[in-house]
Structure 1
Amino acid sequence: MKSKGLVRDSKSFKIAFIAALAILAIICFISGNAKGTVEVSVRRIFEVIMNDDGSTERMVIWNIRLPRMILAALVGINLALAGAILQGVMGNPLADPGIIGISSGAGLFGIAILVAFPQYQQFVTIGAFFGAMLAAFIIYILAWKGGIQPIRIILAGVAVSALFGAGISATLVFYSDRVHGALAFMNGSLSARSWPEVQNILPYTIAGLLLVIIFAEKLNILILGDDVARGLGLNVEATRLGFTALAALLAASAVSVVGLLGFVGLIVPHSIRLILGNDYRYMFPASALLGSVLVMLSDTFARTVLSPVEIPVGIVMAVLGAPFFLYLLRR
């Protein structure tokens, strides 16, 4: 057992594991483009991407499946990174943008813009970010009592999630004639998403990846505890605020294009932590890759299992995530 632990702690194992996740992500991406009502071979996928021959396969791959799989990967990356950040900042392995209410805050502001001010849809991401930050701020106020304790984070998050959930319901009641357009948002769906959504989320994903790679060591210091972190010269509150804002922005960008998709930020970072440990220099890239794999697989399953009928990917994630959450809570 000791030698096995030493192998897992080695740098070579961590790099090999991340490389294996990268290969798995590529396989999921290709298979997701191949599977569906219209089956397309892998060779044909590359042919129609490289050459516009006007075929049905070209239209299906280029206009529907390719942007959808790219978007699924980007959403998975953003939510997984947001969850990893929140679990480190809050010192709670159960922290997740959906569970502690940050996604609900983003969702409330996003839905308010979608149904009340549809002419300003370009501001959904910005609105969702402010909603996410407001939720995070309220959670901190409610949970702070001489410090942050994991159980208070969860209890405050449940309360905040319920509060913003009520706001979402009230918004839909007041604008009942536009509810249909918000149903996909409520359930988390990639249906009918294409290149515009990819363009909306891509800058946030790139910025998020760069920032977590650059500042991963600061989070490694922060998780040692506030007193130790201060002793090592870290500005604890500024670091915590900065990481929380980054997590909120990543979660908000994902919510703005796919809706309320839960449990990715819970399942992925916790699973990676069990395998690679708490070093965020490796945990961030591994979480990003596993997050993309999880959402791509879930979405491929959601649109093929009952084809031609599609299941919102948020329902699939809820079926996977709820038992996982209860298992962690039980432990």
Structure 2
Amino acid sequence: MLAKQERLSSGVDPETRWGQARRIRSPVGLMVLLLGVILLLLWISIALGSVPITFSELWQALWGQGDPIRQTIVWQLRLPRALLAQLLGAALGMAGALLQGMLGNGLADPYLLGISAGAGLAAVALLTWGEWTAWVPLAAWVGGVLTTVLVYGLARTRSGLAVERLILAGVAVSALFGAISSALLLLADERVQVALTWLIGSLSGRGWPEVRVSGVYILVGLGLGWAQARALNLLGLGEEMAVSLGIPLVRTRVTIGLVAALLAAAVVSVGGLIGFVGLVVPHMVRQGVGSDHRWLLPLSALAGAALLSGADLLARLGAVELPVGIVTALMGAPFFGWLLRQREAGQ
């Protein structure tokens, strides 16, 4: 009884709707491991490519020494792209953890709920018009927020927010906005190739301007998202318990939804529609540290950074460079099918 009260007072109860999750001994150890993987992937991403760069050459280039061509490759081409992949992965990982924790459903992520599609539609609209490209990040965020409101409205019932309706509404909205985006592409002329990359999800040609633009939004969103850890832990105890402990349900869910929309829109504004990262990463992290969002949120960000960095590395090391969105879909779609089978077996 005392242990139960202690868990409730901290906002963490492993016997929630997520069930008893297997935990590792030290979340700090997992954090250190992920940081090491991120740094390793960063080095590999910079070193490997059509022009291989050794460790000594990389070290010299980072300090502005050695071959000027390799300095250009490192500083202007590979380093900003590698950093951008990790920033976007962190945003998607935390956005998925926020939505799954808020809804208590492991099928939620910005891609499946239509948030990314709404942000992508706004971005494609401005890109095809060609005169408002400087406003693409802001338009993507507004599109993501408005889509979040629309999906919530479609899923709301008299008894509250129905999770199954929310997912179905997200799929329907994604299909609708995808069709509109395709129509805009058909009406576009010379900018169709640029706009098409937003629908596929690609980091090709991205540089420091994209890092600076998205980095501000993502870092702010990561901080705001981590601040919701206690509220998410209390929501995991059930709506009645959360209200009794002082959590305003509507305001809390709106806040979490807006933060997730901010993170997803920041990704779409520079990388396009990159799916399944926000779905896969929180499940992987939850198997290690359980459902305590004080650890789950930052570790999901780190794991997302590592996953998307690895996916981008795979995308550009083949004979033909693939959009990173295709690689994440190839990795995430089988996991989504496995997750559905697991949920069916658990019923």
What TM-score do you get using the length of structure 2 for normalisation? 0.89
Aligned to 1:329: 340
Aligned to 1:192: 205
Residue 141 of structure 2 aligns with an amino acid whose one-letter code is F
Q: 1:225 aligns with which of 235, 238, 253?
A: 238
Q: 1:257 aligns with which of 270, 273, 291?
A: 270
> Is the contact made by 2:21 and 2:291 (CA closer than 8 Å) also made in structure 1?
no
Is it true that 1:158 corresponds to 2:171 in the alignment? yes
Counterpart of 2:161 in 1: which secondary structure?
A: coil
- Report the Cα distance in structure 2 between the residues aligned to 1:20 and 1:122, rounded to whole angstroms: 38
The CA RMSD over aligned residues, in Å, is 1.7
5 Å-filtered alignment, 1:168-317, equals 168-306=181-319, 309-317=320-328
Q: Residues 69-109 of structure 1: CA distance to partner in whole angstroms, max 9, x if unpaired?
A: 00000000111111111111122101111111110000000
5 Å-filtered alignment, 1:56-95, equals 56-95=69-108
Aligned to 2:151: 139
For residue 42 of structure 1, report the CA deviation from its aligned partner: 2.1
Whichever structure has more helix as a proportion of its residues is: 1
Identity within the alignment, %: 43
- Report the Cα distance in structure 2 between the residues aligned to 1:134 and 1:214, rounded to whole angstroms: 23
For residue 52 of structure 1, report the CA deviation from its aligned partner: 4.5
Residue 323 of structure 2 aligns with an amino acid whose one-letter code is P
- Report the Cα distance in structure 1 between the residues aligned to 2:91 and 2:98, rounded to whole angstroms: 11
| Gap runs ≥5 in structure 2 | 1-19, 343-347
5 Å-filtered alignment, 1:40-59, equals 40-53=53-66, 55-59=68-72
What TM-score do you get using the length of structure 1 for normalisation? 0.93
User: Which of 148-157 and 100-109 deviates more?
Assistant: 148-157
Q: Residues 264-288 of structure 1: CA distance to partner in whole angstroms, max 9, x if unpaired?
A: 1001011111221111110111111
- Report the Cα distance in structure 1 between the residues aligned to 2:187 and 2:142, rounded to whole angstroms: 22
For residue 209 of structure 1, report the CA deviation from its aligned partner: 2.2
Relative distance call for 1:233 and 1:39 in structure 2 (3 A) is same
> Is the contact made by 2:57 and 2:66 (CA closer than 8 Å) also made in structure 1?
no
Residue 241 of structure 1 aligns with an amino acid whose one-letter code is V
- Report the Cα distance in structure 2 between the residues aligned to 1:215 and 1:84, rounded to whole angstroms: 11
Q: 2:113 aligns with which of 100, 104, 108?
A: 100
Aligned to 1:3: none
Aligned to 2:40: 27
> Is the contact made by 2:93 and 2:304 (CA closer than 8 Å) also made in structure 1?
yes
Residue 320 of structure 1 aligns with an amino acid whose one-letter code is M
Residue 252 of structure 1 aligns with an amino acid whose one-letter code is A
> Is the contact made by 1:272 and 1:287 (CA closer than 8 Å) also made in structure 2?
yes
Relative distance call for 1:175 and 1:244 in structure 2 (3 A) is same
For residue 141 of structure 1, report the CA deviation from its aligned partner: 1.3
Is it true that 1:109 corresponds to 2:156 in the alignment? no
- Report the Cα distance in structure 2 between the residues aligned to 1:286 and 1:190, rounded to whole angstroms: 23
> Is the contact made by 1:8 and 1:14 (CA closer than 8 Å) also made in structure 2?
no
| Gap runs ≥5 in structure 1 | 1-5
Is it true that 1:128 corresponds to 2:140 in the alignment? yes
> Is the contact made by 2:89 and 2:308 (CA closer than 8 Å) also made in structure 1?
yes
> Is the contact made by 2:21 and 2:290 (CA closer than 8 Å) also made in structure 1?
no
- Report the Cα distance in structure 1 between the residues aligned to 2:262 and 2:125, rounded to whole angstroms: 18
User: Which of 218-227 and 91-100 deviates more?
Assistant: 218-227
For residue 176 of structure 1, report the CA deviation from its aligned partner: 4.1
For residue 150 of structure 1, report the CA deviation from its aligned partner: 2.5
Residue 317 of structure 1 aligns with an amino acid whose one-letter code is T
Counterpart of 2:131 in 1: which secondary structure?
A: helix
User: Which of 65-74 and 200-209 deviates more?
Assistant: 200-209
Residue 152 of structure 2 aligns with an amino acid whose one-letter code is Y
- Report the Cα distance in structure 1 between the residues aligned to 2:300 and 2:181, rounded to whole angstroms: 30
- Report the Cα distance in structure 1 between the residues aligned to 2:333 and 2:279, rounded to whole angstroms: 10
Q: Residues 135-185 of structure 1: CA distance to partner in whole angstroms, max 9, x if unpaired?
A: 111111111111223322211111111111111112112224421111222
- Report the Cα distance in structure 2 between the residues aligned to 1:159 and 1:83, rounded to whole angstroms: 19
